[in-house]
Amino acid sequence: MTIVEEQAAPIAIPVRDEAQIARRERVRLLFRSPAFVLGLVILGFWVVCAIFGTLIAPQNPQADDILGKLTAPSADHLFGTDRLGRDVLSRVIVGAREILIMAPVATLLGTVLGTAIGLVTGYYRGLVDEVVMRIVDALLSVPVIIVALLAITAVGPSRRTLILVIGIVFGMIIAKTVRAAVLSERELDYVQAARLRNERAPYIMFAEILPNVMGPVVVEFTVRLGYAIFTIATLAFLGFGADPSIPDWGTDISESYQFISAGVWWAVLFPALAIATLIVAINLIADAIAQTFER
Amino acid sequence: MDEKQRRVDEVRRERSEVENHLIDEYVLGRITRRELVRRGTVLGMSIPLLSFVAAACGGDDDDGAATATGDGETTAAGDVQPGGTIRVALIQPTTEPNPLLVQDEGGAGMLGSTGEYLSFSDENLALQPRIAESWEPNEDGSVWTFAIRQGVTFHNGATLTANDVVETFEKLINPDGGSANAQSALGGVLTPGNIEAPDDATVVFNLDAPNGSFPTLVSSANYNAIIIPADLDPADWGQTFEGTGPFKLQNFTPQVGATFVRNDAYWGEKANPDTIEVKFYAEEGPMVVAFQGDEVDFVEHFSVAGGKALLDNPDVQVIGIQTATHRQLHMRTDKEPFTDKRVRQAIGLSIDRNALVDGLWEGRADIGNDSPFAPVYPSTDTSVAQREQDLEQARQLLADAGAEGFTVQLDTWDGFEIPDLAQLVKNYAAEIGVTINLKITDSATYYGDGVFGNSTWLDSVMGITDYGHRPVPNVYLTAALGGDPKVGVWNSAHFKNDAYDELVRQFVAALDVESQKGIAKQIQELLLDETPIIFPYFYNFLSAAKPNLLNAVSAATGQFDLSKAGFTA
Amino acid sequence: MGRFLLKRLGLAVITLWLLSVLVFFGTQVLPGNVARRILGPFADQAAVDNLNEELGTDQPLLTQYWDWITDLLTGDLGNSLALGVPVSELIGDALVNSLKLAALAFVLVVPLAIFGGVLAALRRDRLTDRVITIGGLTLSVVPEFVTGIILILVFGLWLDILPVSAQAPPGSGFFTQLKYLLLPALVLVILLFGYIARITRAGTIESLDADYTRTAVLKGLPRRTVIRRHVLRNSLLPTIAVVATQTGYLIGGLVVIETLFNYPGMGRLIVTASRQKDMPLLEAGVLIVGIVFLVAMLLADLAYSLLNPRIRYARAE
């Protein structure tokens, strides 16, 4: 094309491409943020641990040495040994796997659930909306931990229960946000246009509105991911984890905590720092993403 | 020597056949002095008498009360200041203070603070008279007569009579609302309606069958059996903690603690301390911290794992009582892969018991030999070969049984050191090619309704169960391994062996130690061969006291006796 | 105003009722039956059945719910099944304990966070701002038991200047109790600081940029007076809202902190009750937590709307 033609033709950029450009712009902005990069690096480190943990770990995280239990960090065991003589460093490395499987799955479940509920209640409004929202509010008036605790006590501790419970509770929270977004979207022209075209409600909700609320949805996902890790670790610490031989940061802390008064700090400190760094990383990422959407 | 001999002969002439038999065994060196005292008190002989006999007749002078680690069995004895307040840390009771409902250490501690038993089972498993002054069996041990101490009053002023004793036990073993715990000890031994009080000072128990260990079953070891007024509804006991003991209740706050003050109307030697303050702790950690922070002077019970700080501190007085407290690792004999006893033996052979005792218990435990016969019992035959870890043989047995490399689920709950034991067992099994998947829940889920079909404990293929201390192995032998469903209510291994049942019946009836030991040997060997349950260890009951607190006494069932305790100057 | 309040109240009541339904039927799912839990696994089945009948736990669920809810409305919370004492006593004590801890935490965090937020806004985008914002954020997302453990290690173990359990010996004076509550309160402060500071910062920035502020400055008022008289008042609005929403979390979410420091508050009470299937206690406990939360939200809304006209008024100045 010649320059003249380029300038002359009124280019009506389709909506999809506009969104694509915006997305690329956002990504570029993200990588300029030092907080985001730092978060990504830390997260990346833990993901590598989760995937290749058993190869990287210096020792078998389940191998016990009961006579060598609770020894301080040394050349043989850089992070010391725990109550059964297992190598804490290895358990910290391999422990990333548990949480990095459960948390994203739970969050994904919650996001899907919450988005669906938010779309439906936001679009239909009326009685359905009122009733569902009241129930959601009722559930949310009790702290997440307690709801999760009750559910786990009822159904028994297992990976599946944990994921389901957190997924459902977070779904409620996300539903509120998505609903709010949908409420403002549904008044816009393109929704009216679709209605006039006699499109069916599901189509309008999922094909028209959903792409335009993806922003808040993505933000919610990343924020909730941090909370999921937080909640799962807390529940494990309270003793609601499943199998204590499988390395898991929260469970390991809860098992080693009682030895603090005897001066054994390593079995607790290192998994705690692992949790802290992972959550901070996720939140740095989440925050950066949220900010790009704000701009 | 002649004079002594004459006196001994006189004593022996007055003794029953059973008691003479006991003295014979001592003279022949078949039992130690300690066992003489233990067994003798159960039979109703007084300690002064036994001491005299022991001194006069020589024999094995095994007086040693210290465990391998040098822990004392009581605090150091010595002169203490009169009065004072002793602060005790106790695990929080899980039920209200009702003698019928109490089912844990915390509750037992409460009952024992103000209540008294017919006798007190001490750290040597000997019975010290309390409400009962003396007791004796009839010829075959099917009728036991107790002489009730006179001049004993309850804290409310009422005088204690034999009727109170009768009513207490009737309430305990009442099938319609008694104490499940007491019933587990007395079931099949004593039936309601068979207790008589011919006069105010005598109680006669007519047993269902001869039982050589009956007095232990109504001692403090059966911790629900404090003697309460006949007209008191056990549900109301928590209001006044009515009892006859050296301390009485001042106040009680659920989930927080209780305060007791000296009972100046006590029938015996008045207590030394003025006040006992008991604080409840939901968990062990805070208890240990409180002790270190000088908030309490005495920790009733702590575990090796949770009390590492206490064990490492040379200033802390650690009191260790050898007990029969243990864990049972059961394997269902009626379910694959454990139907073949070789597989069960293999698992038993994979475990390194010495490592468990040293690692989990810092040496403060006895190695178990896969039967309920704990080393602490005089009836245990210690000549039976001890099973040791032998991976080679274990693997061979699995190969012979055609059961190599199987996977099985182990159910248990998350209390005490049980999760640790489970993980260690899992690793040992891995060494012989067996994969164990752990499912660890909480005690309510594991125990369920406590009946077959509705309890993970009783239904699981493999599980670990905790058993508290008993002064005799009877209930372990019957309830946990008995073939008759009415008897073997705790039989998680679904073990059914007629030869075994017959041996147990004989053991329970046996009155003298020698025959008990003889039968025990057969039972031990049978169980080693069948291995329905693995008994890895029997661990010590540990208490901790401040260095300046003397004469504090603990019982392995959770009660504590501080009547003679006090602080040094 | 009145109508708004009434509407919110009405909604709150409905939500509360729904909560009671969810709690009641939710706890029915807990494993094991009630009498069995009390009498233990070794009790006779006949005894268990008897107790169930006595307690009324063998009735149809709807009947049980109706009885419970009507009793509740007359103030009868029932008796704890495990301990035999009135639930209201247990909850009363636990609530007071939780409130003590919450009060201390609030007293510490609110001024601190407001100060931090305002400071960050005044030094916007400079180092102070970065430190406060990012530091606050980082600290607030870390689970309480992690910060709690680190604080215990540092202050309780290595420096040994603060007690490691939160419950002061009975009969302690005010300041002794304070000392024991300090560490757990600190954990809460660390948890809440970041969020509250951030909201305050945002509100402060908004009012700093507002017209009325510029007007005040142009009028010649010293900066400090401007901040005090105009900016602060308006920037505190969102802060108040946030502080109120954190209350519900504080009361019940203290589960972890109460476990860590062995503190007999509401959170730990609820956990114990759920473990023991002590239904009256559990249901009452969760309901109370819900009530506290909803009341806090209501107050937050109220405060916000009351203070709102002022903004409009200030803007018109």
pLDDT tens digits, B136-175: 998 888 999 999 999 999 999 999 999 999 999 999 998 8
The answer to which of A233-237, B208-212, B361-365, C27-31 has the lowest mean pLDDT is: C27-31
In terms of average pLDDT, the best of A8-22, B31-45, C30-44, C161-175 is B31-45
pLDDT at residue B62, as a whole number: 45
pLDDT at residue A3, as a whole number: 44
pLDDT at residue B131, as a whole number: 94
Helix residue spans in chain A (DSSP H): 3-8, 15-32, 34-56, 88-124, 126-140, 144-155, 159-185, 189-196, 201-203, 210-235, 249-256, 266-294
Distance of CA B235 to the CA centre of its chain: 25
Of B463 and A1, the one with more pLDDT: B463
**Chain C residue with minimal CA distance to B180?**
C43
> Which residues 6+ apart lie within 8 Å of B503 measured at CB?
B519, B522, B523, B526
For residue B89, pLDDT beyond 90: yes
**Chain A residue with minimal CA distance to C294?**
A141
pLDDT at residue B540, as a whole number: 92
Judge contact between C189 and C212, C-beta under 8 A. Answer: no
For residue C317, pLDDT beyond 90: no
Judge contact between B487 and B479, C-beta under 8 A. Answer: yes
B355 touches chain A (CB under 8 A): yes
Categorize the per-residue pLDDT at B7 as very low, low, confident or very high, splitting at 50, 70 and 90.
confident
Amino acid at C112: L
Nearest to B113 by CA among B100, B133, B97, B129: B97
Categorize the per-residue pLDDT at B205 as very low, low, confident or very high, splitting at 50, 70 and 90.
very high
Phi-psi region of B269 (alpha: psi -120 to 50; beta: other; left: phi over 0): beta
Nearest to C117 by CA among C246, C237, C293: C237
Please tell me which of the candidates C30, C157, C286 has its beta carbon nearest to residue A146.
C286
Judge contact between C168 and C177, C-beta under 8 A. Answer: yes
Categorize the per-residue pLDDT at C69 as very low, low, confident or very high, splitting at 50, 70 and 90.
confident
- Bridge-based pairing of strands B537-545 and B317-331 is antiparallel
Asked if the Cβ–Cβ distance from A153 to C275 is below 8 Å, we say yes
pLDDT at residue C268, as a whole number: 82
**Chain C residue with minimal CA distance to A267?**
C149
Residue B364 backbone dihedrals phi, psi, to 5 degrees = -90, 55
Best A150, A165, A222, A283 member to test C by mutation, with max C CBs in 10 Å, is A150
A134 touches chain C (CB under 8 A): yes
**Chain C residue with minimal CA distance to B456?**
C41
Distance of CA A135 to the CA centre of its chain: 24
For residue C110, pLDDT beyond 50: yes
Mean pLDDT, range B538-562, rounded to an integer: 91
Question: What residues of chain B lie within 8 A of the CB of C42, using their CB?
Answer: 103, 180-181, 183-184, 450, 489
Asked if the Cβ–Cβ distance from B255 to C275 is below 8 Å, we say no
Mapping DSSP to helix (H, G, I), strand (E, B) and coil, where does residue B116 land? Answer: coil
C199 touches chain A (CB under 8 A): no
B437 touches chain A (CB under 8 A): yes
**Chain A residue with minimal CA distance to C144?**
A234
The answer to which of A223-237, B261-275, B541-555 has the lowest mean pLDDT is: A223-237
For residue A144, pLDDT beyond 70: yes
- Name residues 219-248 of chain C within 8 A of A (Cβ): 248
CA-CA distance, A144 to C144, in Å (whole number)? 14
Please tell me which of the candidates A137, A146, A237 has its beta carbon nearest to residue C289.
A146
A145 touches chain C (CB under 8 A): yes
CA-CA distance, B57 to B275, in Å (whole number)? 43
pLDDT at residue A32, as a whole number: 84
List own/partner pairs for C127-130 with CB under 8 A and 24 or more apart: C129/C201
Asked if the Cβ–Cβ distance from C143 to A146 is below 8 Å, we say no
Q: Structure tokens of B321?
A: 């009582």
Residue B195 backbone dihedrals phi, psi, to 5 degrees = -110, 130
Mean confidence (pLDDT) of chain B: 88
Question: What residues of chain B lie within 8 A of the CB of C165, using their CB?
Answer: 286, 289-290, 293
Q: At what angle do helices C144-151 and A249-256 cross, to 10 degrees?
A: 40
Categorize the per-residue pLDDT at C308 as very low, low, confident or very high, splitting at 50, 70 and 90.
low
Buried b (16+ CB within 10 A) or exposed e, C166-186: bbbbeeeeeeebeebbbbbbb
Please tell me which of the candidates A35, A138, A156 has its beta carbon nearest to residue C15.
A138
CA-CA distance, C115 to C121, in Å (whole number)? 10
- The kind and range of the H/E element at B249 are strand B247-253
Asked if the Cβ–Cβ distance from B254 to C90 is below 8 Å, we say yes
CA-CA distance, C191 to C193, in Å (whole number)? 6
CA-CA distance, B313 to B296, in Å (whole number)? 16
Which residue's structure tokens are 């954990």? C187
A70 touches chain B (CB under 8 A): yes
pLDDT at residue B76, as a whole number: 61
Mapping DSSP to helix (H, G, I), strand (E, B) and coil, where does residue B147 land? Answer: strand
DSSP B126: -
pLDDT at residue B164, as a whole number: 94
Best C129, C141, C295 member to test A by mutation, with max A CBs in 10 Å, is C141
Categorize the per-residue pLDDT at B203 as very low, low, confident or very high, splitting at 50, 70 and 90.
very high
- The kind and range of the H/E element at B469 are none
Judge contact between B184 and C42, C-beta under 8 A. Answer: yes
Mean pLDDT, range A8-37, rounded to an integer: 73
CA-CA distance, B419 to B427, in Å (whole number)? 12
**Per-residue pLDDT tens for A148-165?**
777 777 777 778 888 888
Nearest to B244 by CA among B165, B156, B155: B155
- The kind and range of the H/E element at C135 are helix C127-141
Please tell me which of the candidates C44, C83, C262 has its beta carbon nearest to residue B175.
C44
Best C54, C258, C262, C268 member to test B by mutation, with max B CBs in 10 Å, is C262
- Bridge-based pairing of strands B275-281 and B85-91 is parallel
What whole-number percentage of chain A has pLDDT above 70?
A: 92
pLDDT at residue B65, as a whole number: 37
Categorize the per-residue pLDDT at A65 as very low, low, confident or very high, splitting at 50, 70 and 90.
confident
B neighbours by CB contacts (3+ pairs under 8 Å): A, C
Nearest to B274 by CA among B258, B263, B288, B285: B263
Mapping DSSP to helix (H, G, I), strand (E, B) and coil, where does residue B500 land? Answer: helix
Mean pLDDT, range A269-277, rounded to an integer: 92
What whole-number percentage of chain B has pLDDT above 90?
A: 58
Nearest to B124 by CA among B475, B302, B376: B376
Query: Is the peptide bond prior to B375 cis by the omega test (within 30 degrees of 0)?
Result: no
